[in-house]
């Protein structure tokens, strides 16, 4: 789960991290009131969306007067921001962070992330702050420093100092930078984050060290331990398809492509995504319907996959163990009833591979259905090739 920058900064503040004074605003009036309350020489008006790259996209404005705060707040609220992280459709700005401006001397990058290879948390930092870290990693990897943290002892003070020196913090700021690293590590552990990213971490003209931006990602499996974090969830930022799927108890992740797939079991679902990719397809989603094959649920899954015209074809790959192939087939027939006016069509080709429990009955149901564009696949390989061919032929 993700939260907004202003919420991340609230959490950081509670852990002692130095963040600028600021307040969230949901309207222009609230923005003006917040700016007046801050009473700072420079006020920053920041769009709050679950995506980075706002600065370059015009989502971070520096205001010198209350009038300017008003102008920027009016401009940003309701605006659709398109950044390199939002995708082409962008994200609507529904709230702002009104913050005291900082005098920046230098910008750094600092993050903590769980490294799967070493099974440790790694602290990564770079002198190239404020820019896309992926670019630094690709072009000048020698500018990224890393410290691997032993989970038994946590971040050792010498590691934090070594990092602060590697980044060339001036003597007056080394201890502040190292202390902040320790506090940020405590945030990651204390809140079960999968990532804590500060970009930029800034050195001010007064040799202060401030977390100017903050991005926290949380491990969903640990959210039950953090009701305060769950409270911060902003569903307007989440994919509506994923929310509908979660409500229907379907394990669905939008992958952005155009070949939808409906599978049972996470392993088979991943293998299906892989084989579609292998044959040149672009998977629209990961969808694991689980061990349940209630026709109504299958129909809901179809509805979600087809919603918004994203899917140009559907690959159904079911290995009936607990699931029953005949029920899955009934679900497909049911889906056609819900989706189409005539009750017997699905707007895109559907390639179906059924194996396992009640497979003969399942195939029989689909063979006798009036739905035109349902094609039975002989094998997983054959099915994947066929749906990719059909979708690409359509374009």
Q: Which stretch binds ligand GDP (CB under 6 A): 99-107, 186-194, 248-256, 376-384?
A: 99-107
Half-sphere exposure of 231 (CA within 13 A, CB side): 8
Where would I find the H helices in the chain?
A: 5-14, 28-38, 66-76, 133-139, 157-166, 171-190, 227-230, 240-247, 266-278, 295-306, 325-339, 359-367, 380-394
Shortest CA distance to 330 belongs to which of 288, 302, 311, 304?
A: 302
Q: Does 128 bind ligand GDP (CB under 6 A)?
A: no
Cα–Cα distance measured from residue 307 to residue 25, given in angstroms and rounded to the nearest whole number:
33
- Out of ligand GDP, Mn ion, none, which partner does residue 212 contact, by CB within 5 to 8 A per kind? ligand GDP
What is the closest distance, in whole angstroms, from the C-beta atom of residue 70 to ligand GDP in the complex? 18
Interaction partner, residue 314 (Mn ion, ligand GDP, none; CB < 5-8 Å by kind): none
Beta strands 313-320 and 350-356 are parallel
Taking CB under 6 A as the rule, does residue 44 contact ligand GDP? yes
Q: From 46-54, 145-153, 284-292, 351-359, give the range in contact with ligand GDP by CB under 6 A.
A: 46-54
Q: How far is the CB of 2 from ligand GDP (least distance, A)?
A: 13
Residue selected from 3, 17, 25, 130 as contacting ligand GDP according to rule CB under 6 A = 130
DSSP assigned state of 65: S
Q: Which of 7, 102, 111, 264 binds ligand GDP (CB under 6 A)?
A: 102
- Contacts with ligand GDP in 206-235 (CB under 6 A)? 212-213
Q: Does 55 bind ligand GDP (CB under 6 A)?
A: yes
């190239």: which residue's tokens? Answer: 128
CA–CA separation, 68 and 230 (whole Å): 34
Residues 166/124, Cβ–Cβ less than 8 Å: no
Q: Select the span of 35-43, 195-203, 314-322, 333-341 touching Mn ion (CB under 5 A).
A: 195-203
**Sole binder of ligand GDP in the list 10, 32, 94, 101 (CB under 6 A):** 101
Q: How many Cβ atoms are within 10 Å of 232's Cβ, its own excluded? A: 18
Distance in angstroms (rounded) separating the CA atoms of residues 131 and 53: 9
DSSP classification of residue 378: S
- Pick the closest to residue 44 from 27, 62, 21, 23 (CA basis): 62
Burial class (CB in 10 A: 0-12, 13-18, 19+), 128: buried
So which residues are the catalytic ones?
A: 109, 197
What residues does 186 pair with on adjacent strands? none
Among 22, 107, 260, 320, binds ligand GDP (CB under 6 A): 107
**Token pair listed for 351:** 């390639």
55 vs 295 by CB, closer to ligand GDP: 55
| 336 sits near ligand GDP (criterion: CB under 6 A) | no
Number of residues near ligand GDP (by CB under 6 A): 16
Give the bridge partners for 217, in sequence order.
2, 195
Q: Which residue is nearest to ligand GDP (CB)?
A: 55
**Partner whose binding site includes residue 53, from ligand GDP, Mn ion, none (CB under 5 to 8 Å by kind):** ligand GDP
**Cβ atoms within 10 Å, residue 135:** 10
Residue from 52, 257, 313, 349 binding ligand GDP (CB under 6 A): 52
Is 199 a residue that touches Mn ion (CB under 5 A)? Answer: yes
CB atoms inside a 10 Å sphere around CB 92: 14
Stretch that binds Mn ion, among 205-213, 314-322, 351-359, 372-380 (CB under 5 A): 205-213
Select from 4, 9, 54, 297 the one that contacts ligand GDP (CB under 6 A): 54
Piece in contact with ligand GDP (CB under 6 A), picked from 67-75, 96-104, 119-127, 219-227 = 96-104
Length of the chain in residues, anyone? 395
The one among 197, 213, 330, 386 contacting Mn ion by CB under 5 A: 213
Instruction: By CB under 6 A, name the one of 30, 32, 50, 53 that touches ligand GDP.
Output: 53
Residue 101, binding choice from Mn ion, ligand GDP, none, Cβ under 5 to 8 Å by partner class: ligand GDP
| Crossing angle (nearest 10°) for helices 266-278 and 380-394 | 50
69, 63 contact by CB (below 8 A)? yes
- The span of 53-61, 269-277, 331-339, 376-384 binding ligand GDP (CB under 6 A) equals 53-61
Q: Which residues bind Mn ion (CB under 5 A)?
A: 199, 213
Q: Which residues bind ligand GDP (CB under 6 A)?
A: 44, 52-55, 60, 62, 101-102, 104, 107, 130, 199-200, 212-213
């Amino acid at each position: 789960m993700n939260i907004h920058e202003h919420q991340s900064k609230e959490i950081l503040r509670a852990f002692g991290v130095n963040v600028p004074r600021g307040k969230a605003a949901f309207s222009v009036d609230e923005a003006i009131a917040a700016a007046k309350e801050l009473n700072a020489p420079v006020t920053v008006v920041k769009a709050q969306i679950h995506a980075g790259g706002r600065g370059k996209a015009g989502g971070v404005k520096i205001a010198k007067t209350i009038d300017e705060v008003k102008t920027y707040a009016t401009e940003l609220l309701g605006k659709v921001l398109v950044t390199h992280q939002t995708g082409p459709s962008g994200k609507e700005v529904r709230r702002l962070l009104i913050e005291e401006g900082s005098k920046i001397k230098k910008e750094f990058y600092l993050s903590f992330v769980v490294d799967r290879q070493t099974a440790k948390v790694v602290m990564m930092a770079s002198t190239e702050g404020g820019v896309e870290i992926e670019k630094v990693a690709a072009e000048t990897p020698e500018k990224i420093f890393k410290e691997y943290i032993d989970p038994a002892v946590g971040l050792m003070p010498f590691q934090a100092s070594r990092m602060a020196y590697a980044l060339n913090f001036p003597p007056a700021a080394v201890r502040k930078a190292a202390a902040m690293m320790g506090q940020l590590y405590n945030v990651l552990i204390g809140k079960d984050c999968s990532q804590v990213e500060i970009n930029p971490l800034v050195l001010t003209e007064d040799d202060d060290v401030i977390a100017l931006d903050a991005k926290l990602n949380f491990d969903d499996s640990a959210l039950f331990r953090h009701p305060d974090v769950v409270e911060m969830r902003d569903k307007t930022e989440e994919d509506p398809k994923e929310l509908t799927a979660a409500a229907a108890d379907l394990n669905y992740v939008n992958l952005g492509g155009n070949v939808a797939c409906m599978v049972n079991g996470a392993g088979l679902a991943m293998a299906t995504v892989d084989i579609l990719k292998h044959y040149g397809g672009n998977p629209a989603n990961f969808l694991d319907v689980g061990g349940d094959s209630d026709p109504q649920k299958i129909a809901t899954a179809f509805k979600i996959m087809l919603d918004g015209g994203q899917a140009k074809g559907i690959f159904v790959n079911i290995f009936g163990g607990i699931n029953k192939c005949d029920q899955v087939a009934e679900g497909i027939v049911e889906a056609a009833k819900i989706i189409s006016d005539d009750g017997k069509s699905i707007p895109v080709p559907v390639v179906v591979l059924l194996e396992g429990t009640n497979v003969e009955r399942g195939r029989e149901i689909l063979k006798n259905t009036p739905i035109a564009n349902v094609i039975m696949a002989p094998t997983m390989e054959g099915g994947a090739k066929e749906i990719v061919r059909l979708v690409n032929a359509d374009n």
